[in-house]
Structure 1
Amino acid sequence: MQAGRQMLERTAVCRAALYLLAAGVALTSEARWSCPPSCRCNSAALEVNCSGGQFTNVPDGLPREAKLLNLTHNTIKTLVHQQFHTLMQLLHLDLSDNLLVVIEVEAFLGLQGLLTLRLSHNQLKIIPVGAFAGLTNLQLLDISSNEILVLLDFTFSDLAALQFITAADNDLVFISHQTFTGLNSLQELQLDGCNLTAVPTEALTQLSALKTLHFQRLGLATLPNYSFRHLMHLKELVISHCAWLETLSGNSLFGLNLTSLTIKHCNLSAVPYIPLHHLVYLLYLDLSFNPITYIHGNLLGDLLRLQEFHLVGGSLLRIEIGAFRGLEHFRLLNVSRNLLTTLESGAFHSVDSLRALGLDSNPLACDCRLLWVVRRRLYVNFGGRPPACTTSAQLQDWNFLDFSEAELPSLLTCRQPRILNRKRQEARVDQGHTVVFYCSAEGDPVPSVSWLNPQLRPLSPIGRVRALSNGSLEVRYAQPQDSGTYLCVASNAAGNDSLPVSLRVRTFPSSSKNPFRLKGWPTFPSASPGENGDQKLHFDVKTLLIAATIGFVSFFSSVSVCFIFMLFWSKSKGQIKHTATIAYVPRSAVSSSNGGTGNYMETSRFTMKLI
């Protein structure tokens, strides 16, 4: 019994000692991590969370060993000089969602190890030079959702290790040329300023290592030439929510070797083919939410490595045949929420390489042009939003990917074009008249009508001889060289139909039965070559008589003026002899004298009276 009692006493003593030791350790840790009121501290993770603590200033008594400090959702207005100098171990500082208006110079001095600093959703209007002094290891800076108007020279010069800046959702009106000086390691920059009317090209030239650049809400109508010069390492460019941006100048992207380009929520009415053509390393192109109506054929072939093309929420009416020709690596096309009635397989270099297709929310007509989509449904990802028929009465709102192979031949059909009026059209007109030939066709889908000239070359909708939008052919001010047979061609996915029309143009008619024909004269545009190649010019007799009369009258008028002038001139010289004696030797006398031996030569005289 005695031995047992002693054993119990020893056990109790040991338990008491262990309890006191544990309590002592807890008290020591608590003393070291004395949390300010309204804050929550985690000594194991070295975190201090003062979010939503209704602080108007940075609280005192923060643990010196803290590595993360969260001061979000308070009413702090000012950061004073060396505000956090006691927190030398701090790695992450978050001051988002406060009322910050002033950050004094060297406010963060002493935080040499700080890696991330977040100042978003405050009321900063300007950041003084030197505010970030001492943050030599900072890698991420977030100053988004403030009221910053101007970024001054050398604002970030102390942040040599900075890799990421976001300044989105501000009111920037000006970025000084030396703003980004010293940011030699910056990899990504996000800028937002609805009042910026120009790309800060000079400021961006300081960012030689930049790889990603985001622009939002710029007040630009066009993107000027050489906007991003010297950004040779830039790989991703995003321009968004620029409501006035309508065009890109031809060399606006010159000097860039992009792999990703996004221009969305802007006002582009056409794909910027010329600025894009040199981007041979481009893999990703997004032009969504622009009022682009057409993707034309054979204009994107220079983008040899392009894999993805996005144009969601646009105004696309048509993707032409050959639109993506030459793009051997093309994998994804997303044209959801547009106005497309079809998408033909001929638009692609090869449909076999296509892996993803967004075609939903388009007024698709289910006919033979979409047969290829159904047959590749097992190999193409539609993102859970398969296309549906909306303009076909028979298949209204049907998901045509559900059709069986047996149903396809009878459901997805096309009808070959047929020109309605097959009557041969012939026109014989005089030179200078205007001629119109009509051609209309029917088919399913509605066929397109084009015209070929006598040399079988397509006619454009502009010029003197042109194909009109209603399918007609117009020849204005017809000339003899316009004569020949023109061909109307109606075509759709099921085939084509054609109809020839004939035009003969006569030269200007002559009013005389026997006109003059002058050989060797140059031919006027209205003249036609002669049978033997001689150039002939036709004259009307009446016209010739009028011209001759005008010429004679002009000649006699000139002679009369000369005589009148001589008369007055002679009167001004006083008395002048009106007779003159002229001596001459007859020709016969000269001949006799040369042949004879004598020296006699007879001279004759006569008198002439001046009138």
Structure 2
Amino acid sequence: MFVESVVRWGVWSILLQFGLSVSAGSCPQRCMCRPEARQVICSGKYLNSVPEGFSSDARRLDLSRNRIKTVGRRQFSGLLQLQELDLSDNIISMIEVEAFWGLQSLRTLRLKNNRLKILPVGVFSGLSSLRFLDLSQNEILVFLDYTFKEMVSLQTLEAGENDLVFISQRAFFGLQNLQELNLDRSNLTSIPTEALSQLQSLTQLRMLRLTISTLPNNAFRRLHRLRSLLISNWPALDTMASNSLIGLNLTTLVISKCNLTAVPYAALRHLVYLHFLDLSNNPITVIQGNLLGDLLRLQELHLAGASLLRVEPGAFKGLSFFRLLNVTSNQLTTLEESAFHSVGNLQVLRLDGNPLACDCRLLWVVRRRLRLSFDGHQPTCSSPDVVRQREFRDFSEKELPRLFTCRPARVMDRRPQEVRVEEGTTVLFSCKADGDPFPAITWISSHKNVISPTGRIRVLPNGTLEVRFAQVQDSGTYQCLAGNAAGNDSLTVGLYVKGLPRNRTMPFFAEEGWVEPSNAQAANSSAQMAKPYPFDAKTLVIATTMGFLSFLSSVAICFVFMFFWSQSKGQIKHTATIDFVPRSSVGGGGDGGDGGRFTMKLI
């Protein structure tokens, strides 16, 4: 029994070795095979077509960096265990229908950097297990309906850097498990909303370097599972409709290197799950106060390389989880503590690359310089001269109260200003203030409202209050408030407007400017109608004579024309004779009566 077992074991080992050697020997010419890893490497072998003779148990086949032009029908049908196929960096311009038929185990297919222009429906038939497909860097013009319909397991589709001009509405039909889609650098001029709506499981969408100029309402409808949306390098994008992102539950949103001139507050207000927001490299000049409060879970805001001039107080009010602000490389002179909901939660602050004025407004940052991270980029003072070019870490705690100071706002001319005018008069109230930093001027009306820079009553850029064409209801007291980070000052002025008698006219404001009222216009019209008739008797005689002569000359011309016309027709009879039978005087018929005739002269 022992001998028989030894013999059987020897026979089986010989057969097994023989089988392995046969399997290992199935390797196409110019390719390198690795039987232990079940890999066939034919990369960079100057192949003009797909070779034959692959081992049937191969799991990875690399045909990249060759000169293959065509992939024929069922080209790889015998490779039932193949899991990865790489055809990148060839010159493939045509793939026949069912080219990958039989690759039932294929998980990854790479067709990057070829010359494909169109993908016929049925090209990807049989790839029901495929998870990753790379079609980037081709020349594909359009995705037709049902192109990917059998790829039910596909999770990632790389379709960037093609010549795409159109994606059909049902192009992505069947991709019910697709999670990541990249559509970088194409010729799309609008969001393929209908096509994208087929991707119910999509979690990440990347769209770089497009020429789209606006995001319309409902641009990404039905993408309820989308968590990351990346839009970058859209130089024409300057508008986002208020409901362009409605229905999305994003946690990450990037809209960078576009042409947005303001933070799109209306479009963002729905994104209550947003953690990360990047609006860098847009020409945004201000982060306004109290408009980001709906983003309850926001943790990071990146607005680097923009045109920021100021961050208003309350800009991040309500953001209790806010921990990182990146506003590097802007035009900010300061960042006040009042902009934040709680500076105690702030962990990272990027302020470098800004012309910072190191005064009391930035004292809160400097005092936290040891526990607040600047991400390796120290902020630097640009003014005043005494601290110019000094980094925040260079200041000692001892010198801070002396260097980081402010001078409170002070109204310079405090003389009483009381003006009494009649209706229609334009009035100016001056309010000049001084301080460090330079104070902001705000005017409060007699009705306790803040006066804006526009309208009939407005604040001029130099802080002067202008009341144009004063009216009785404008009477009252107006208050000028001058304020900066160190303190406030105020000045009160009075305006008293006297009404005009009723027989006097008052101008009123129309769209074109100040004009006279309609009753004055009616009076002017009546006055014009009461004027004497503007023509005298001599003028009337001349006009009548000229008209009569014109009439006679027209008649004469007509007669002359008729005369010559009749002469050209030869002799014309000027009389006509008509026979007739007179009726009986008694009645009845006309039988037995004598006939008669008469002659008629033609004129």
TM-score (norm 1): 0.78
Q: For 1:304, give the aligned amino acid.
A: L
Comparing 445-454 with 35-44, greater Cα deviation is found at 35-44
Shift, 1:90, TM fit:
1.1
Query: Identical aligned pairs, as a percentage?
Result: 55
Whether the aligned pair in 2 keeps the contact of 1:127 and 1:155 (CA below 8 Å) is yes
- Structure-2 separation of matches of 1:250 and 1:92: 44
- Structure-2 separation of matches of 1:203 and 1:144: 18
Within a 5 Å distance, the mapping from 1:521-560 to structure 2 comes to none
- Structure-2 separation of matches of 1:38 and 1:110: 25
- Structure-1 separation of matches of 2:107 and 2:503: 98
- Structure-1 separation of matches of 2:88 and 2:443: 66
Shift, 1:351, TM fit:
0.4
Within a 5 Å distance, the mapping from 1:102-501 to structure 2 comes to 102-501=94-493
* Distance verdict in 2 for CA 1:457–1:81, change over 3 Å: same
1:316-339 Cα offsets, whole Å, 9 max, x none, are: 111100001011111111111111
Whether the aligned pair in 1 keeps the contact of 2:109 and 2:132 (CA below 8 Å) is yes
Comparing 63-72 with 304-313, greater Cα deviation is found at 63-72
Shift, 1:509, TM fit:
5.7
1:459-479 Cα offsets, whole Å, 9 max, x none, are: 111221111222111101101
Who is 1:534 aligned against?
none
Shift, 1:134, TM fit:
0.7
Whether the aligned pair in 1 keeps the contact of 2:427 and 2:467 (CA below 8 Å) is yes
* Distance verdict in 2 for CA 1:397–1:63, change over 3 Å: farther
- Structure-2 separation of matches of 1:337 and 1:128: 48
1:95-146 Cα offsets, whole Å, 9 max, x none, are: 1111111111111111110111111111111111111111110001111111
* Distance verdict in 2 for CA 1:78–1:419, change over 3 Å: same
- Structure-2 separation of matches of 1:282 and 1:239: 15
Q: For 2:220, give the aligned amino acid.
A: F
Q: For 1:170, give the aligned amino acid.
A: N
Whether the aligned pair in 2 keeps the contact of 1:90 and 1:113 (CA below 8 Å) is yes
Shift, 1:504, TM fit:
2.0
Whether the aligned pair in 1 keeps the contact of 2:24 and 2:35 (CA below 8 Å) is no
Who is 1:78 aligned against?
70
* Distance verdict in 2 for CA 1:511–1:44, change over 3 Å: closer
Whether the aligned pair in 2 keeps the contact of 1:173 and 1:193 (CA below 8 Å) is no
Shift, 1:420, TM fit:
2.5
1:373-407 Cα offsets, whole Å, 9 max, x none, are: 12222332221112111243222221113311111
Comparing 430-439 with 292-301, greater Cα deviation is found at 430-439
Comparing 454-463 with 161-170, greater Cα deviation is found at 454-463
Whether the aligned pair in 2 keeps the contact of 1:293 and 1:318 (CA below 8 Å) is yes
Shift, 1:59, TM fit:
2.3
- Structure-2 separation of matches of 1:133 and 1:31: 28
1:512-532 Cα offsets, whole Å, 9 max, x none, are: 9xxxxxxxxxxx999xxxxxx
- Structure-2 separation of matches of 1:384 and 1:111: 51
- Structure-1 separation of matches of 2:20 and 2:133: 36
Whether the aligned pair in 2 keeps the contact of 1:117 and 1:138 (CA below 8 Å) is yes
Who is 1:50 aligned against?
42
What secondary structure does 1:390 align onto? strand
Aligned-pair RMSD on alpha carbons?
A: 2.7
1:505 aligns with 2:504: no
Q: For 2:287, give the aligned amino acid.
A: I
Shift, 1:27, TM fit:
11
- Structure-2 separation of matches of 1:432 and 1:451: 22
- Structure-1 separation of matches of 2:93 and 2:147: 17
Whether the aligned pair in 2 keeps the contact of 1:53 and 1:74 (CA below 8 Å) is yes
Shift, 1:194, TM fit:
3.9
Whether the aligned pair in 1 keeps the contact of 2:187 and 2:210 (CA below 8 Å) is yes
Shift, 1:53, TM fit:
1.4
What secondary structure does 1:372 align onto? helix
Whether the aligned pair in 1 keeps the contact of 2:23 and 2:55 (CA below 8 Å) is no
Q: For 2:91, give the aligned amino acid.
A: L
Whether the aligned pair in 2 keeps the contact of 1:366 and 1:400 (CA below 8 Å) is no
1:153-207 Cα offsets, whole Å, 9 max, x none, are: 0000010101111111111110001101111111111113542122111111211
Comparing 87-96 with 188-197, greater Cα deviation is found at 188-197
Shift, 1:301, TM fit:
0.6
1:63 aligns with 2:55: yes
Whether the aligned pair in 1 keeps the contact of 2:232 and 2:255 (CA below 8 Å) is yes
Whether the aligned pair in 1 keeps the contact of 2:369 and 2:392 (CA below 8 Å) is no
- Name stretches of at least 5 consecutive residues in structure 1 with no aligned partner: 1-17, 513-523, 527-542, 554-611
Q: For 2:313, give the aligned amino acid.
A: I
- Structure-2 separation of matches of 1:271 and 1:50: 52
1:209-258 Cα offsets, whole Å, 9 max, x none, are: 11111222333221111111111222221222111111111111111122
Q: For 1:78, give the aligned amino acid.
A: T
- Structure-1 separation of matches of 2:238 and 2:291: 19
Shift, 1:432, TM fit:
0.5
Q: For 1:84, give the aligned amino acid.
A: F
- Structure-2 separation of matches of 1:247 and 1:446: 34
- Name stretches of at least 5 consecutive residues in structure 2 with no aligned partner: 1-9, 509-519, 531-603
Q: For 1:65, give the aligned amino acid.
A: D
- Structure-2 separation of matches of 1:473 and 1:408: 38
- Structure-2 separation of matches of 1:272 and 1:154: 36
Q: For 2:89, give the aligned amino acid.
A: D
Whether the aligned pair in 2 keeps the contact of 1:168 and 1:192 (CA below 8 Å) is yes
Comparing 501-510 with 487-496, greater Cα deviation is found at 501-510
Comparing 497-506 with 89-98, greater Cα deviation is found at 497-506
Q: For 2:281, give the aligned amino acid.
A: F
Shift, 1:493, TM fit:
0.7
* Distance verdict in 2 for CA 1:148–1:491, change over 3 Å: same
- Structure-1 separation of matches of 2:257 and 2:284: 11
Q: For 1:110, give the aligned amino acid.
A: G
What secondary structure does 1:504 align onto? strand
- Structure-1 separation of matches of 2:423 and 2:23: 108
Q: For 1:136, give the aligned amino acid.
A: S
- Structure-2 separation of matches of 1:511 and 1:259: 68
- Structure-1 separation of matches of 2:406 and 2:25: 79
- Structure-2 separation of matches of 1:411 and 1:97: 62
Within a 5 Å distance, the mapping from 1:91-102 to structure 2 comes to 91-102=83-94
Q: For 1:272, give the aligned amino acid.
A: P
Comparing 38-47 with 475-484, greater Cα deviation is found at 38-47
Whether the aligned pair in 1 keeps the contact of 2:424 and 2:507 (CA below 8 Å) is no
- Structure-1 separation of matches of 2:503 and 2:70: 100
What secondary structure does 2:493 align onto? strand
- Structure-1 separation of matches of 2:135 and 2:150: 16
Comparing 436-445 with 37-46, greater Cα deviation is found at 37-46
- Structure-2 separation of matches of 1:279 and 1:48: 48
Whether the aligned pair in 2 keeps the contact of 1:76 and 1:100 (CA below 8 Å) is yes
